[in-house]
Structure 1
Amino acid sequence: MIWNESIECMDRDSLRKIQGIRLKKIVEHVYHNTPFYRKKMQEMDITPDDINSIDDIVKLPFTTKYDLRDNYPFGLCAVPMSQIVRIHASSGTTGKPTVVGYTRKDLASWTECLSRAFTAFGAGSKDVFQISYGYGLFTGGLGAHAGAENIGASVIPMSSGNTEKQITLMHDFGSTMLCCTPSYALYLADVIRDSGFPREEFKLKAGAFGAEPWTENMRREIEEKLGIKAFDIYGLSEIAGPGVGYECECQHGTHLNEDHYFPEIVDPQTLQPVLPGHTGELVFTHLTKEGMPLLRYRTKDLTALHYDRCDCGRTLVRMDRILGRSDDMLIIRGVNVFPTQIESVILELPEFEPHYLLTVDRKNNTDTMELKVEVREGCYSDQINKMLTLKKKLTGRLQSVLGLGVDVKLVEPRSIERSVGKAKRVIDNRKL
């Protein structure tokens, strides 16, 4: 099924004309309403008059996560705060969140994109959605909620966690669509197996899984364990949230809603465009956003784009699975974690050496983090109570900064291997 055939199946030339018109309008909007972009464009000797088609996008400046951090919290807003009706945020590299503001029109556009996604997954007004993404500042829960309601489906706003109740209500309410991270879907499958409820009594038919990288092998495992069709949904809070892209029934790539979020692929070193089908860094420009539009935002995600018509009939560009990131960010249970965040916590506390090793793994279908950190000489002790107090102090601070639990192992001074080159601080044993 197709939600908006006029856009999703539009011929490429007509789509590019619309993208060009919208790009010029958004450039004029930020030039006159966002001092950050006006200054950047003036430094590059660019005015809105220089933007006349979508091909002119290469003239515009790039935006990075650091620009959002430096303009925290609302420096990149292009409308008065009286027009911002929703604020979401995600974790940043310094502990300060990356903040995004939405107007009513922005929320409507985002909801439209999610409606396209859920329709592509085969969902409709007769479905019951169990939204098991987190609600709150994270975009997943409220984003998926609005999209499901917009197609007329029934919505169970479960949020994440409370797994036993998740299973009971999934069974009793007859949930047909599941929205959560892929790792949580596998955990739910294991709990269902142990719950005593026969799997055939569940009505699940499909799931929208995103917020963390996952593989085809993981897809097959989810589909087998839950007896459903598993679809990938792509998004990032800086651009909108889930629904920036979505798979169709063909599952030959992720269609991007390029009438709202224009994608480019550039070489992460030279920042020059790469040819279609070649891998590089994914860059997005807002074409319709009012509240906080971004020009050429560098996502750090590595992928490739394909412009041929999909067998489903959609002409929207298709994106390959994300191969990795051009920086060192980790995604743990849907949460962005930077090693620099962990390092900054360790350096805050005088009892610890700045030597640590973070091991990320996946156990029982859930991401885990083990942190070995050296205790300074004079602070290391054979007394268990003293070490437990120290461990609790570090664990609590990490939980506060990351929003995730970390298994802390305190080790003796000079017990972690040193390196003469770049120190290897992170070992990721997940097969992503």
Structure 2
Amino acid sequence: MIWNRPMETMSRDTLAALQLERLQKTVERVYHNVPAYREKMQAAHVTPADIKSLEDLQRLPFTYKQDLRDNYPFGLFASPMKEIVRLHASSGTTGNPTVVGYTRRDINTWSELTARMLASAGADADSVIQIGYGYGLFTGGLGVHYGAEKVGASVVPISGGNTKRQIKLMEDFGTTLLACTPSYALYLAETIAEMGIAREKLKLKAGVFGAEPWTEEMRRELEYRLQILAIDIYGLSEVMGPGVATECPVKNGLHIAEDHFIPEIINAETGEPLPYGEAGELVFTTITKEGFPVIRYRTRDISVLYEEPCHCGRTHVRMGKVSGRTDDMVIIRGVNVFPTQVESVLLSLGLTEPHYVLVIDREGLLDTLEVWVEVSEKMFSDEVRKLEKVERKIQRELESLLGVTAKVKLVEPKTIERSEGKAKRVIDRRKLTK
């Protein structure tokens, strides 16, 4: 279902004209209201008057997460605090938290975008939407919540965790759509099976899963275990929160809300723009936000943009599923390795449970990679020879894909920590021993 057909299906020429108008207003706004942006633009010898076409966006300097920390808490806000009605923030585990603010209009825009997102998964006034994203300072819970109310659905704002209660309410309330991270959805599916709840007792039809990279293999696993339509969604608090982009049921890339955001793909090393169809780092410029606009924000997410029309009728550019983050990537003996590559191999082989962790260590001067993978109760009781055969097969497949040797260690069921939010996929012991 298309929530806002006039905006989501407008012609490319009309959309480009709208983007330019909104971009010019946003650049003018930050230049005059945000000293940090004005200083950056002056250093780059560019003024708002220089933005005469969408191509001129590339003349503007990038914004980094460190800029948010350096201007903590409200230094990048473009609206006075009396107009800010909502604050969200990151955890700040590596320094000052990143703080974002929303005006009343920003909240209305956000609600519109998450309504589009949920409608893409089939949500309407008859839906019961269970939100397993965290509420509070994290943008996920409240972001999805307002969109769910906008489509007229009945909202179950349970937040993350409390897994058995989640499932009881899912059964008792007749939940039709689940919103949470894909790793937590997998944990829910596993717990449903352990509790012996027959799938026909649940009314689940779809799920919108995001906040962490996940593979097509993971989608198939979730759709099989939960018997639902699994839709990928994308957003980050610095840009808006959930609702920046979402898949439609065609599942051929995530439609970016281009009437509110201008996406770019750049070479992460050089910062040079890359053409459609080429993978690189995703960059966003907001063009309607009042409280906290961002110009050319470097997300660190690795993706690709597609301009070809989608069969669903939406005309906005699509982004490919995020394959990883530049800051999640680990380098093993000069080779770039992403957790999603390992996930893809494990799920495609189907020999183990879909729970894994990468353990990075250092022996002498050489880095080592060990992949711990859970096996089922039945497999764990198999003879050692069979388990060793599975380990060798996974190791061969990983080496073929990654181009680096990885030792595979099959571990007991329930050994790997379950996530009620974002899954922790990497343990880097090199950092612990420095």
TM-score band by shorter chain is 0.7 to 0.9
Q: Which runs of 5+ in 2 are unaligned?
A: 331-337, 340-366, 377-420
1:31 matched to which residue of 2? 31
Question: Residues 17 and 407 of structure 1: is their aligned pair in 2 closer, same or farther, counting only changes over 3 Å?
Answer: closer
Question: Residues 201 and 298 of structure 1: is their aligned pair in 2 closer, same or farther, counting only changes over 3 Å?
Answer: same
* Distance in 1 of aligned mates of 2:196 and 2:100: 43
Deviation for aligned residue 1:43: 1.5
Where 1:308 maps in the other structure, the secondary structure is coil
Residue 80 of structure 2 corresponds to residue 80 of structure 1: yes
1:115 matched to which residue of 2? 115
Where 2:300 maps in the other structure, the secondary structure is strand
Deviation for aligned residue 1:213: 1.1
Deviation for aligned residue 1:79: 0.9
Deviation for aligned residue 1:96: 2.2
Offset from partner CA, 1:139-195 (integer Å, 9 cap, x none): 111111111110000000010111111111100000000001111111111111122
Offset from partner CA, 1:4-47 (integer Å, 9 cap, x none): 11111111111000000000000000011000011111112211
Offset from partner CA, 1:237-274 (integer Å, 9 cap, x none): 10011111100010000111111111011111221111
1:384 matched to which residue of 2? none
* Distance in 1 of aligned mates of 2:427 and 2:276: 45
2:266 matched to which residue of 1? 266
1:12 matched to which residue of 2? 12
Deviation for aligned residue 1:197: 2.6
| 8 Å CA contact 1:357, 1:425 repeated in 2 | no
Where 1:159 maps in the other structure, the secondary structure is coil
Deviation for aligned residue 1:404: 9.7
Deviation for aligned residue 1:93: 6.3
Question: Residues 271 and 403 of structure 1: is their aligned pair in 2 closer, same or farther, counting only changes over 3 Å?
Answer: closer
Deviation for aligned residue 1:55: 1.8
Question: Residues 147 and 357 of structure 1: is their aligned pair in 2 closer, same or farther, counting only changes over 3 Å?
Answer: farther
* Distance in 1 of aligned mates of 2:274 and 2:211: 26
* Distance in 2 of aligned mates of 1:304 and 1:192: 35
* Distance in 2 of aligned mates of 1:135 and 1:47: 39
Deviation for aligned residue 1:58: 0.8
Paired residues for 1:367-386 under 5 Å:
none
| 8 Å CA contact 2:232, 2:321 repeated in 1 | no
Residue 220 of structure 2 corresponds to residue 220 of structure 1: yes
Where 2:238 maps in the other structure, the secondary structure is coil
* TM-score (normalizing by structure 1): 0.77
Deviation for aligned residue 1:53: 2.2
Deviation for aligned residue 1:52: 1.9
Offset from partner CA, 1:305-339 (integer Å, 9 cap, x none): 0111101011110101112222347999xxxxxxx
The code of the aligned residue for 2:67 comes to: D
Question: Residues 361 and 144 of structure 1: is their aligned pair in 2 closer, same or farther, counting only changes over 3 Å?
Answer: farther
Residue 66 of structure 2 corresponds to residue 66 of structure 1: yes
The code of the aligned residue for 2:83 comes to: Q
Q: How many residue pairs get matched?
A: 354
1:50 matched to which residue of 2? 50
| 8 Å CA contact 2:247, 2:253 repeated in 1 | yes
| 8 Å CA contact 2:185, 2:222 repeated in 1 | yes
1:151 matched to which residue of 2? 151
Question: Residues 19 and 404 of structure 1: is their aligned pair in 2 closer, same or farther, counting only changes over 3 Å?
Answer: closer
Deviation for aligned residue 1:86: 0.7
Residue 198 of structure 2 corresponds to residue 207 of structure 1: no
Deviation for aligned residue 1:362: 6.9
Q: Percent identical across equivalent pairs?
A: 57
Deviation for aligned residue 1:220: 0.8
* Distance in 2 of aligned mates of 1:103 and 1:360: 45
The code of the aligned residue for 2:47 comes to: T
* Distance in 1 of aligned mates of 2:57 and 2:426: 46
